[in-house]
Structure 1
Amino acid sequence: MRLRHAALAAALLGVLGVPAHADDARDISRDTLPPNDGWASAAGGTTGGAAADDAHVFTVTDRAGLVRALDGGSDTPKIIRIAGTIDANTDDRGRRLDCADYTAGGYSLRKYLAAYDPRIWGAARPSGPQEEARKASAARQAERIELRVGSNTTIVGLGDDALLKGASLQISDADNVIVRNVEIRDAYDCFPVWQPNSGGLGDWKAAYDTIWLRGASHVWIDHVTLSDKGHLDEDEPTYFARNHLRHDGLLDITGGSDLVTVSWSRFADHDKAMLIGNGDTATGDRGRLRVTLHHNEFESVVQRAPRVRFGQVHLYNNRYVVPEDAHDYRYSIGVSTESAVYAEHNAFHTPGHIEAADLVKSWNGSALHDEGSLFNGYPVDLLTIYNAYNSGSERDLTADVGWTPVLHGPVDSAAAADRAVARGAGAGRIR
């Protein structure tokens, strides 16, 4: 729906149950990234759809309206305001779809498990009728839930309760994109694939990141909440002795993406939260993957908060919370091939069975700058602890990452940032 006049906008918001004063006080939909706010402020900054004319400002309340507003991922400046809850798993008439509605070609999980049981099938990749049926079924779901976001776009939630369920936002080969003040959750894959050779024991691979940047540049993600809420992977059954994963990343930044700022956001209830750089052999990522992460909360995240290859990543004033009942926590900061992570003044909260040495993991990494970290309220030097406890399977890390961040606001103490992030991170908390 096009909003041509402020009066019409206010009237519509009232009908939708969004207080008019919330919109009247400050229209955040035309906000742009402030100067010096991380890597996305470099080289001209990030303005999203701020230049959109009235004909390209939309308030959307369902999937069909969101798809029309996205315009196939066009580059036309546009502002898309999400009101209430939008479910991506719906048909064009708004009818709710479930996995059975996407099933094609005679696919069934029971038949799939029987066909590719590794005790019978072996270590070869799945092939044949059930795998073809799975692919056909997956394609039908992807057509519904993968939503392409084009250049010069702002997506913003109205009020405190904007929610996008079941969707995978794809920011692919796009420049100048802002996503703010919206909860996006449960990008649930109905048809994960079995990968017999993954990790040595095999694993299930889901297809959808909640937000996926590929070849994207100048992207600002701010005050979003990303999670698996609704279908937690830990509640899924085990097949072939592996958890039947239904989700991939919460926010993956890959394919040569560059100049990204992620701020005041919340990542929760998930396994692999954030991958920056998707392969050790992706040498084309050199000089790219420049990302700033500040004032974010990672709660009940098992790993990848983030895991970095190649990129220059400034990680400051973030809050990490591992719950008391965590049984599968692996690490928070992943240092991989040619990564250059500059971490400062982050706060970590963990139960007693998790040590400070568990917070960092390296795969062929060489360097990590860390200063001002707090671990359960006590100062720690994560680099020194990593090197002291390194089993020898990986080389020790040096403190010289080859760069020093300059694009940032004031860096608070970890204790001050911890309190501020607990109060202010996530959707519905822009003040």
Structure 2
Amino acid sequence: MMTTHRSWRRAAVAAAMLLAALATPGGVASAVRAAPAPAGAAVAAAENTPIGFASVNALGRNGTTGGAGGTTVTVTTGSALEDYAGRPGPYIIQVSGRIQVDDMITVVADKSILGVGSTAEITGGGLQLGSTTRPGNNVIIRNIRFTGASDDSISVTNKAHHVWIDHNDLSDGYDGLLDIKRESDFVTVSWNHFHHHSKASLLGHSDNYTADIGKLRVTYHHNFFDGTDQRHPRVRFAEPVHVFNNYYRDNALYGIASTENAGVLVENNYFQNVAHPIYVGYDKSGPGRVVERGNLYVGSGTPQTAGTVAEPRTYYSYTLDAAATVPSVVQAGAGVGKI
């Protein structure tokens, strides 16, 4: 029987407590008495629906359902993926095996693109949610490995709203691994593994694209930013952006950057060996606003903060994991093959 996500998180936390106890004298007996780890604690039971902004009732949509209620198809080639991703109406598109594509495939509204098992991969190109004439609203992308993209691995753009990017593995692209821009809104980015790349996730097109003001409401939670250099995320104009329970490790340039009056709430994350965990303003971009609380900075620098930020709880409810448990919880649950 599948456990709930919250039950799995409690199990993962218990396992982390046990490991910590094993490192201390006398810790074995006390840990076993206090918090035994159930069998299967390392196997994640993922959410069936998104947490965060993708769950919000807004813009004529009550949450994000993707292709629910539509036809289920399985694709094994780039041409088939492009065909079904661009069709009108709801589709559940199952990606089986490794698919080679040459460019960005446009994904239009009401699609779920789901990897089968742990070997689904899109390589050589990426997915672009919507065009200027065909919106990419109500889209779910889960359980897929993205490698070697010729541009972005995933681009949420052109006013796409209600998007859930969950349990993917993204690496070795050309530009951004996951960029969200051009008036997109109500997006959740959860349980993804970003690695072997410099630019992880841009949020906001450019300093001059002021149409993003009042948009770009995004939740980032339980992602593993594993050795990526920058943009975890780099934010322009958006408020609120909610960044919670993510694991940052060995990020060479910086963790998070809030610029151009963006408002970012950063809470209960774990920063390990990150010299500049949070910037207020970056490069030629003007300063944003940041509120941080409950984070841990291990072998890391001092975060910059400024101003106040709208509370995400005015939009949705959520439960925080303790920051100390984030490395074990995120490493156990993020990436492909976990749902």
- What's the offset of the Cα at 1:84? 1.1
Correspondent of 1:222 among 156, 166, 169? 166
Look up the match of 1:124.
Answer: none
Instruction: Judge conservation of contact 1:345–1:412 (CA < 8 Å) in 2.
Output: yes
3-state DSSP class of the match of 1:305? Answer: coil
1:45 maps to which residue? 63
1:247 and 2:174 matched: yes
2:216 maps to which residue?
289
Cα distance in 2 between the residues matched to 1:302 and 1:217: 27
Which one has a bigger Cα radius of gyration?
1
Tell me the CA shift for residue 160 of structure 1. 1.3
- Residue 398 of structure 1: how far off its partner (Å): 2.1
* Pick aligned residue for 1:63 from 78, 89, 96: 78
Superposition deviation, residue 429 in structure 1 = 1.4
Match of 1:403 in 2: 311
After superposition, the C-alpha distances for 1:370-398 in whole angstroms (9 at most, x for unaligned) are: 011112279x862xxx3xxxxxxxxxx42
Distance 1:152 1:32, change over 3 A: farther
More helix by share: 1
CA deviation profile, 1:76-134 (whole Å, cap 9, x unmatched): 1001101111111xxxxxxxxxxxxxxxxxxxxxxxxxxxxxxxxxxxxxxxxxxxxxx
CA drift of 1:159 comes to: 0.7
Amino acid aligned to 1:45: G
Structure 1 residue 310, shift from structure 2 partner: 1.1
1:200-349 equivalences under 5 Å are 208-214=151-157, 215-228=159-172, 247-311=174-238, 312-322=240-250, 329-349=252-272
Q: 1:377 to 1:331 in 2, by over 3 A?
A: closer
Aligned equivalents of 2:299, 2:244: Cα separation in 1: 16
- CA RMSD after TM alignment: 2.0
Name the CA distance, whole Å, in 2 between partners of 1:401 and 1:149: 32
**CA contact under 8 A between 2:248 and 2:272: conserved in structure 1?**
yes
User: Does the residue aligned with 2:227 lie in a helix, a strand or coil?
Assistant: strand
SS at match of 1:247: coil
TM-superposed deviation, 1:399: 3.9
Q: How many residues align?
A: 280
Distance in 2 between residues matched to 1:158 and 1:306, nearest whole Å: 28
Please say if residues 256 and 277 of structure 2, whose CA atoms lie closer than 8 Å, have aligned partners that are also in contact: no
Q: Is the 1:258–1:291 contact (alpha carbons within 8 Å) kept by the matching residues of 2?
A: yes
Partner AA of 1:221 in structure 2: I
Please state how far the C-alpha of 1:169 moved relative to its aligned partner.
0.4
- The AA in structure 1 aligned to 2:202 is L
Query: AA paired with 1:213?
Result: V
Residue 30 (structure 2) aligns with? none
- Distance in 2, matches of 1:292 and 1:317, equals 11
Are the structure 2 counterparts of residues 285 and 347 from structure 1 closer, same or farther at C-alpha, using a change threshold of 3 Å?
Answer: same
Letter in 1 for 2:262: S
Where structure 2 has 5 or more consecutive residues not aligned to the other structure, the ranges are 1-45
Shift of 1:292: 0.2
- Rounded to whole Å, the distance in 2 between the matches of 1:282 and 1:359 is 23
Indicate whether 1:428 and 2:337 are aligned: yes
What residue number does 1:375 align with? 297
Contact 1:84 1:163 in 2 (8 A): yes
Quote the sequence identity (%). Answer: 39
Q: For residues 267 and 45 of structure 1, what CA distance do their matches in structure 2 show?
A: 25
Cα drift, residue 417 of structure 1? 2.2
